[in-house]
A and B are shown apart, each in its own frame.
Chain A
Amino acid sequence: MITAEVILASGGGNPLIPNVWEILVTGVAFAVLLFVVTKFIAPTFEKSYTDRVEAIEGGIEKAEAAQNEANALLEQYRAQLMEARTEANGIRESARAEGAQILADLKEKAAEESARITAQAHGQIESERVAAIASLHAEVGTLATQLAGKIVGEALEDDARSNRVVERFLADLENQQNAGVSN
């Protein structure tokens, strides 16, 4: 083992006693180093730290702004899409309603037309019937008078009397006919 005696016996110095020149050199050297570090090195590092923090935070802010803008656009497009859908639905609804309206109008118009044609036909038939009755009225009276005159002879020369007979006959005929119709 190395003991204190061994060290001292072999001429070892005391390690705790300093070389004064080494104190001086170390002190001066450190002072120079401290000066260089304080003056040049530390400020540069601090500055690059600050710059870097700013660059990173600036980048984050920029990205956030872009994100916000993109979100706003997305919202806008969604709103527009929704609006367009609503509008399309509205158009479809109104088209359907309009179609129904047109159909109803056409049906009504057709019904009116058919009613009109029917009424017209009835009117015509009625007037033709009335005309036929009138012409029959005259012809039947004359024919019957002639016939009866021929059968009865001169006795029926008096117009007034024969006219009364014919009128009564026709009235009876008419009554019969009406009763036949009502049956």
Chain B
Amino acid sequence: MTAFALPMASYTEKFVPPTISDLHLPDIFPWMADYGTGFGKQMLLVLLSVVLITWFFMAAIRKAKLVPGRVQFVAEGFYSFARNTVGRDIMGEKNFRPWVPLLFATFVFLLLNNLFGAIPLLQIPSFSHAGSAYAMALIIYLVWIGVGVQKHGLRYFKLAVVPTGVPGWILPLLVPLEIISNFIVRPLTHSLRLMATMLAGHMIVALAGTGARYLIVVQDSLLLNATGVAVIAGSVAMYFLELLIMILQAFVFTLLTAIYIQGSLDADSH
């Protein structure tokens, strides 16, 4: 899309690709303040997601019946996905029950916030902002370390970084690698995977928007205007791809949460 747009930039006005800053809207409170100085749209959406999720699920369970109605059926679908597909299948019948609320809350929280990026006007996936992704990964990071220490005491850190069944002379090499991999890289990848996929999806939307505007509004050539329409058509396909990625990333983040906690619980069995 940029390949179409950039060479034409010399005609009337230069094509300016959207930047990260363009995705950082001015804050709401104080009104139109610089991004980062006050309360912004992204934060509003995060709070809105909690309200929406609470409202939907409380409404679904208020008249919970043995034979579920339509709303209850959908709500139970989300719950049993987090409970059975993620929790029980990863953590096993023995361990999963206490963790179902955390996994379910994580999944629906991420899912709705990601899907905000696909809803016109809202149109910003909350986790395309690094702060939110760091916050979630940090919470999970603290949880699985806490679980390990609670279950195995301080011995947990030894269990987590010293692999069993390897010759002693290789340990000086492996232990630093395990420390880096488990305690530094793991939370970073956990957060950045989510942030990067959401940001990329959001950038593509912004790029398709500015590119199509440039081709249709600024350019005089009918042919180039037509390619602008092609860009819009292409962005529709991208929209559905993004939709898939939004759902997938919410699932992946929750799945990894379950795997990390399970790893801490079973730290002594490998």
Spell out A's residues near B (CB within 8 Å): 1-2, 6-7, 10-27, 29-30, 32-34, 36-38, 40-42, 44-48, 51-52, 55
Contacts and interface: CB of A to CB of B under 8 A. Distances in A.
Contact of A26 (B2, B21, B126): B126
A38 B46 CA distance: 19
B119 interface: no
B153 to A, nearest CB: 26
Given A7-B20, A17-B130, A41 B50 contact: no
User: Main secondary structure on chain B at its contact with chain A?
Assistant: helix
Interface stretch (B36-44, B165-173, B222-230, B253-261): B36-44
Interface of B: 2, 16-17, 19-22, 24, 35-36, 38-40, 42-43, 46-47, 49-50, 53-54, 57-58, 61, 64-66, 68, 75-76, 79-80, 83, 100-102, 104-106, 108-109, 126, 129-132, 134-136, 138-139, 192, 195, 199
Given A18-B129, A21-B43, A29-B46, A41 B139 contact: no
Contacts of B135: 22-24, 26-27, 30
A25 B43 contact: yes
A7 B203 CA distance: 12
A37 B105 contact: yes
A22 B57 CA distance: 25
B2 to A, nearest CB: 6
A15 B57 CA distance: 33
B61 A32 contact: no
- Quick one: which of A1, A17, A21 has the most chain B CB within 10 A? A21
B58 A26 contact: no
Contacts of A27: 135, 138-139
B86 to A, nearest CB: 14
Nearest to B110: A30
A2 B2 contact: yes
B131 A30 contact: no
